[in-house]
Structure 1
Amino acid sequence: MEVFYDVLKQLIRIPSVVGAEHSFFMFVKRELEEIGIKVEYYDGVLVAKGDEPQSGYMSAHADRHGLICTGHNEFQYAAFIAKNRADLTGDSNSEQMLHNFTSRFVDEKVQAYQPWSGNYLGLGVIKEAFLCQRRNNIIFKVEGFDHLFPGTPIAFVDKLEIKDNLISAQLDNVVSVAIMIYMYHIGYKGTAFFTASEEAGKSWRFLLEWFRRFNISTDELLVLDTSPYASLEDINNLDIVLRNRDSNAVFRSPLKNKIKNIAIEENIKYHFKDAYLKNKMSQTKTTGSLGTTELGRLIKATKGSIQGSTLQLPTIGYHTANETTSIRAVESMITVLKRLYVDAD
């Protein structure tokens, strides 16, 4: 696992604000090409191919939350500025959270960078964050950035912390990117997709375009991500998170039962997030969203010609620089992927 943590530590330091992922993609491209993996770059998606590209299809989004300069000394949450919005309808968990998490940004260190080259443009500190109802976005006051031009991306300053069998950082979704790179190190021969703009609800379109470009369909697309929970207690007895569906579509893939069987054999603790959410809603007599995923949007758009499954790490502190999961959860996800794609050979 040393190689995995080396990769993760490096990736976390490379900014990848939603809509400004190019320099991060270039870093991933180099990492993979150094170990002999063929990498192709298309609009919104970096595609890695092993020696047997059809032996597996894994996907993870490469973008992370951050800010964008939108005027002199004006900064907005990047995922929700008008030009980044896709089919945001107000019912996704991240949109609902928009109304609840302004205070946690105060005193966070942030770094500005050139969107194309990734060159560092300076360090700042968030002094205030408030929800503007007219623009339905968080507006930030940042100290130290009065020289920046509109369009400049600003990432949270981040590093990996490992303590008490937990790992913390802005894990969503750099941890899945690191896992996919690590899979190539240990013998994965299939295809991996690194997508842009998932946090703005757009990544599925880039993925769809790739499948249509080559007239490829599959019922075994595996999408890796993190999945939010309220407290450490909620994730203490949970290693991986599966789904039968999200708010957009039912997931019908052989992968679901394969993963479930591997989990049982390996004593990996799992549950189905949609069932968990339904149960929670029935207990509290409330109604809410089952969540939206990249995969659900893709299945709905293709009327099921692309199908697959999700495999997620349970985390707390979702969409913060201190998102936390257990080392056991990370190792469980890697165990599942090894059994699916490497040991199977």
Structure 2
Amino acid sequence: MLNSDFIDLLKTIIRQPSVVGAEHSFFRVLQRELEERGAHVTWYEGLLVAQGNKPFSTMFSAHIDRHGLICTGPNEFQYAAFIAGNRTDLLNNSVSEELMTKITERFKNEPVYAYEPWSGAYRGNGIIKNSYICEFRNNLIFEIDGLEGLVAGTPVAFKDKLKIDNGRLYGQLDNVLSAAALVHLFSMGFQGTAFFTAQEEAGKSWRYLLEWFRRFGGSTNRLFVVDTSPFPDTDAANNQQLVLRYKDANASFNLEATRKVEQLCKAHNMSYLFKDEYVEQHNAELVSQGLEPNSIGSTELGRIIAASNGLVDGTTIQVPTTGYHTMSESAAIESVESFLTMLMQLSKEQ
């Protein structure tokens, strides 16, 4: 069974809002939890850094932003990740209408609440009644009953709490699950460094992280980035306890680090899958049918490797989930147990 202290921590922080672009109040919650566990905590723009007595022994990173809305006018709300991302569109790509259409269907009738972004103070609650694509702004517009008086710029979070059912955890797990795991590591005596990044869902978090390494890092820096990894259904997710990668769409990962994680999986009887190989195999089937292939995915680590000119490398460790970017994202307790074991083993071996 999962450690009860970890479950209690996850239950606590999953209820705290952390909408993309409005993560300050969540950083305050993390700071309290980390300092209670003996970590030295430092804030930077878009980044919270927690360190033990051997900060360069092992380094982990997790993004802490979650999807939500931003009030952009009188009784007008837009998808926060699109607003934050469009301001610094790294790839010069606008969000596709297909993606936006899928998202509109996910959140109808979802309960939401507004909060003050710095303190996290509650500002009222409501229900999403309607959503549509605005062709002029290329974004999703949401209509909410109950939040008519909000001031523009106020973040609106989805109501969330952890549920446990039939051997699975349920909630908006991406990526509060990984954040809880890294906080919990300090309870277990972790002495390395844990980075908590903002605005990953808008494609910006890697910049905050790279800035820290340019100022404070060594000549080369090995980083383990932890996250969730979506699968189409429970059967597909349950085929492996952990998800690894050799590369993403941006860069190849550090092969030595990847093999180290793979060796630990084998040593502790953890089943695993390489997500890039999984997608490429599926793409071969799609192409043979005359269909368009899927992207192998873009990660925080791939972006920072591509941009750092050798300063930062590493690999990823992910928990397989279903219900990507919904309030019902789920992960098998068995996978989360393996995930926590992996993090502890890596912190011991470095």
TM-score bracket for this pair, using the shorter chain length? over 0.9
Query: Are the counterparts in 1 of residues 70 and 155 from structure 2 also a CA contact under 8 Å?
Result: yes
Closer, same or farther: CA 60–215 of 1 in aligned 2, 3 Å: closer
Closer, same or farther: CA 232–302 of 1 in aligned 2, 3 Å: same
* Correspondence for 1:202: 204
Partner Cα separation in structure 1 for residue 107 and residue 163 of structure 2: 19
Q: CA deviation at 1:84?
A: 4.5
* Correspondence for 2:276: 274
Q: Partner letter of residue 333 of structure 1?
A: F
Query: After superposition, where does 1:207-222 map in structure 2 within 5 Å?
Result: 207-222=209-224
Partner Cα separation in structure 1 for residue 206 and residue 91 of structure 2: 13
Partner Cα separation in structure 1 for residue 83 and residue 59 of structure 2: 31
Partner Cα separation in structure 2 for residue 145 and residue 194 of structure 1: 30
Query: After superposition, where does 1:153-302 map in structure 2 within 5 Å?
Result: 153-285=155-287, 286-302=292-308
Per-residue CA deviation, residues 30-81 of structure 1 (Å, 9 max, x unaligned), is: 1111122100001110000011101111000011000000000100000001
| 1:246 partner SS | coil
Closer, same or farther: CA 66–84 of 1 in aligned 2, 3 Å: farther
- Size of the aligned set, in residue pairs, is 343
* Correspondence for 1:37: 39
Query: After superposition, where does 1:127-146 map in structure 2 within 5 Å?
Result: 127-146=129-148
Q: Partner letter of residue 314 of structure 1?
A: P
Deviating more after overlay: 316-325 vs 81-90: 81-90
| 2:150 partner SS | coil
* Correspondence for 1:25: 27
Residue 322 of structure 2, aligned match among 312, 316, 323: 316
| 2:61 partner SS | strand
Residue 86 of structure 1, aligned match among 76, 84, 89: 89
Query: Are the counterparts in 2 of residues 110 and 157 from structure 1 also a CA contact under 8 Å?
Result: yes
* Correspondence for 2:103: 101
Closer, same or farther: CA 293–95 of 1 in aligned 2, 3 Å: farther
Query: Are the counterparts in 2 of residues 228 and 314 from structure 1 also a CA contact under 8 Å?
Result: yes
Query: Are the counterparts in 2 of residues 58 and 191 from structure 1 also a CA contact under 8 Å?
Result: yes
Partner Cα separation in structure 2 for residue 339 and residue 91 of structure 1: 41
Give the CA RMSD over aligned residues: 1.7
Closer, same or farther: CA 229–64 of 1 in aligned 2, 3 Å: same
Q: Partner letter of residue 247 of structure 1?
A: A
Query: After superposition, where does 1:7-86 map in structure 2 within 5 Å?
Result: 7-81=9-83, 84-86=87-89
Partner Cα separation in structure 2 for residue 292 and residue 56 of structure 1: 23
Q: Partner letter of residue 294 of structure 1?
A: E
| 2:151 partner SS | coil
Q: CA deviation at 1:340?
A: 1.2
Partner Cα separation in structure 1 for residue 330 and residue 79 of structure 2: 22
Query: Are the counterparts in 2 of residues 219 and 252 from structure 1 also a CA contact under 8 Å?
Result: no
Q: Partner letter of residue 283 of structure 2?
A: M
Q: CA deviation at 1:217?
A: 4.2
Query: Are the counterparts in 1 of residues 229 and 243 from structure 2 also a CA contact under 8 Å?
Result: yes
Partner Cα separation in structure 2 for residue 290 and residue 91 of structure 1: 19
Deviating more after overlay: 243-252 vs 210-219: 210-219
Query: After superposition, where does 1:319-330 map in structure 2 within 5 Å?
Result: 319-330=325-336
Closer, same or farther: CA 180–160 of 1 in aligned 2, 3 Å: same
Partner Cα separation in structure 2 for residue 89 and residue 243 of structure 1: 26
Closer, same or farther: CA 96–198 of 1 in aligned 2, 3 Å: farther
Partner Cα separation in structure 2 for residue 297 and residue 135 of structure 1: 27
Per-residue CA deviation, residues 208-230 of structure 1 (Å, 9 max, x unaligned), is: 11011124343420000111111
Partner Cα separation in structure 1 for residue 136 and residue 285 of structure 2: 35
Deviating more after overlay: 24-33 vs 253-262: 253-262
Report % sequence identity: 50
Closer, same or farther: CA 275–263 of 1 in aligned 2, 3 Å: same
Unpaired runs of 5+ residues, structure 1, are: none
Q: Partner letter of residue 324 of structure 2?
A: Y
Q: Output the TM-score relative to the length of structure 1.
A: 0.95
Partner Cα separation in structure 1 for residue 219 and residue 66 of structure 2: 28
Closer, same or farther: CA 96–4 of 1 in aligned 2, 3 Å: farther
Query: Are the counterparts in 1 of residues 254 and 315 from structure 2 also a CA contact under 8 Å?
Result: yes
Unpaired runs of 5+ residues, structure 2, are: none
* Correspondence for 2:337: 331
Query: Are the counterparts in 1 of residues 21 and 80 from structure 2 also a CA contact under 8 Å?
Result: yes
| 2:251 partner SS | coil
Per-residue CA deviation, residues 68-123 of structure 1 (Å, 9 max, x unaligned), is: 0000010000000166443155499x996333221121110001000111100011
